[in-house]
Each structure stands twice: as structure tokens, then as C-alpha cells.
Amino acid sequence: MNKQLADLLRLLELERLEINLFRGESRDIGSPQVFGGQVLGQALRAACETVEDREVHSLHAYFLRRGDFTAPIVYEVDRSRDGKSFTSRRVVAIQHGEQIFHLAASFQIAEEGPDHQIPMPDVAPPEESPDLTAEVRKHLSRMPAERRRFWSLERPFEFRSVEAVEAGEPRPGVRNLWFRLIDRCPDDQVVHRCLLAYMSDYHLLETATLPHGLSYRSGEVTLASIDHAMWFHRPVRVDDWLLYALISPSSSGSRGLAFGRIFDRSGRLVASTAQEGLMRTRN
């Protein structure tokens, strides 16, 4: 297995401290604080460790404080309800004695019912879309040090951008990205859904900068997640190509809002996301 992927999987393997108490390691991915996707994926994994025979179908989370990537994070799970069909969990992430993150997640037994979805956007396939990291690295010399370090590190997944996005050119807040892990991972839906939560935090909020021609990579704007919501519609594999169809309907009050729909290669809608975050321009 690819060593970066093996490390990411270890990151999602929490240490159980007590029945409802878990501890997760942190990683430096080149950002000044813990990556929000890490906390999201680990908190979801902690909730999943307290649920049997049911799969997560939705989560809603708030980022309260910046996390410290040099220290572990403790996750406390509250077993709010175990019903006949649905199970609810609340998770509080704690670091240095303070709450840094809240998550509420809902789980459901497998049930049959009406099934419909919107169609997948008609876009170029991943084989015809350029590798996003390779394209961004062509401009490393013009980035501030903090962004240069972020884009220089190797990761266990790849993104391919359907549309070319040029800094300084305002355009509609719509974007399509293909992404996948660069190696196979275990056939476990808990693992795949936690990995999807982790990866869903990439590029989502950046969509809100497009109508303004602002470049996060060049340091023109500060972005920070405030909340993150996710709905899991159908089984998913993150080691196969997935399309992230992104749209930003609004930004105001130094906050940007973005929605995402995630489709698999066959066109099935596997998940949806929503995020609001701080979007503050720098002088």
C-alpha cells in the first residue's frame, strides 16, 4: 500500500481510552492548524465505533477553535439515542482542555424505499482533466511560504480539475473536480465514509472565492471552516474516481457558502455536502 495512504488510514484508527472516549493523532499537512477534514473524519470514526449494524447517513459539525497539529485530540461520544431504526450520536473534540469541535451524526438500519436522484453534470472524464496539484505547483515560486509548503507535500489522493481556474479572473461560483485515493483501501464502508468526510473538506469553501477573482493560493483571502454538513446517500468507494460538483450561491458578512454533490463514475449520487466559512480578504 502507498505509504501516505497507510498513514492516513492509521490517522483514522483511534485509540479507545474508555467506553465512549477516544484519542486520535494529529498530522501536519502544511496548514497553520489541524486540517478540518482530519477532525471531521476522526470524530465520525469515533461515533461509528459506538454503533453496530447501522450506517451513518448524515452529520452536522461546527469548528470552534483552531486545532494544534502537534498534539493529539480526544473525542468524547455521547450516545444520545438508540432507536428501532435510527441512532444518534454527539461528539465533542477536546484539545489542551478546550472544546475545538462539535459533531452530531445520525445512523440508520438498511431499508428499502423510493429512490431518485439528480443527474451527474456532463463534464470531461478524469483522464482528460489535468492533475490539479501538478498545475498548481507550476506557480509555487509566486506563493507565500505557508501556501507553498501546503502544495509541496505529497498526499495519498489526487484531484483533477475539469475547469481551468485563473487567479484574478471573476467567474461563476461553479466548479467540478474529480478525486480518488491513489491506492486501494479495505472494503469497509465505515473507512470509506470517514475518508470521504476527510476529503470533502478540500476545495469546498474555495468555490466561494471564484465570483470575486480572489486567490486563496496567493494569500489574497483567509479561509476557515465554520461548519460542515454531509449526507451519505449510497455506498461509496473513495479509491475509485468521484466527481465533486461544487457551487457557491452566496457570500456576505465575510462568510462564504458552498454546496457539493459527489457522484461516482457511473453517475450515482453518493453524497452531498454544505459548508459555510470565514472568507476575509487581506490587505
* Calpha distance 140→167 (Å, rounded): 14
Q: What is the pLDDT of residue 282?
A: 80
Q: Is 31 a catalytic site residue?
A: no
* Calpha distance 181→2 (Å, rounded): 10
Write out pLDDT tens, residues 237-259: 999 999 999 999 999 999 999 99
Domains of the chain: 3-110+130-281 (2.40.160.210)
pLDDT tier at 49, thresholds 50, 70, 90 = very high
Least confident range from 113-122, 197-206, 213-222: namely 213-222
* Calpha distance 19→26 (Å, rounded): 21
Q: Is 47 helix (H, G, I), strand (E, B) or coil?
A: helix
Cell 447501522, located at residue: 54
CB within 8 A of 3, min separation 6: which ones?
A: none
Q: Is 260 helix (H, G, I), strand (E, B) or coil?
A: strand
Q: From the candidates 42, 129, 248, 275, which is the catalytic residue?
A: 275
| Length reported for the chain | 283
Q: From the candidates 38, 200, 201, 239, which is the catalytic residue?
A: 201
Average pLDDT over residues 72-97: 97
Q: From the candidates 106, 225, 248, 272, which is the catalytic residue?
A: 225
Average pLDDT over residues 195-223: 89
Write out pLDDT tens, residues 167-198: 678 999 999 999 999 999 999 999 999 999 99
Q: Is 201 a catalytic site residue?
A: yes
Residue 76, phi-psi category: left (phi > 0), alpha (psi -120 to 50), beta (remainder): beta
* Angle value at C-alpha 251, between 171 and 268, nearest 5 degrees: 70
Alpha carbon distances (Å) from 257 to 106, 161, 164:
23, 20, 21
> Is the Cβ–Cβ distance between 89 and 131 less than 8 Å?
no
Q: Is 275 a catalytic site residue?
A: yes
Q: What is the pLDDT of residue 138?
A: 78
DSSP letter at 30 equals S
Q: What is the pLDDT of residue 37?
A: 95
* DSSP-assigned beta bridge partners for residue 99: 94
* Calpha distance 112→282 (Å, rounded): 50
Is 153's pLDDT higher than 90?
A: no
Average pLDDT over residues 78-88: 97
Average pLDDT over residues 232-236: 97
Alpha carbon distances (Å) from 122 to 87, 211, 241:
37, 22, 15
Average pLDDT over residues 133-157: 79
Average pLDDT over residues 94-107: 98
Mean pLDDT of the chain, nearest integer: 93
Write out pLDDT tens, residues 111-126: 999 999 999 999 999 9
Q: Which three cell numbers stand for residue 175?
A: 466548479
Q: What is the pTM of this model?
A: 0.94
Is 132's pLDDT higher than 90?
A: no
Smallest CA-to-CA distance from 111 within 66, 181, 54 is with 54
219/233: higher pLDDT: 233
Q: What is the pLDDT of residue 251?
A: 96
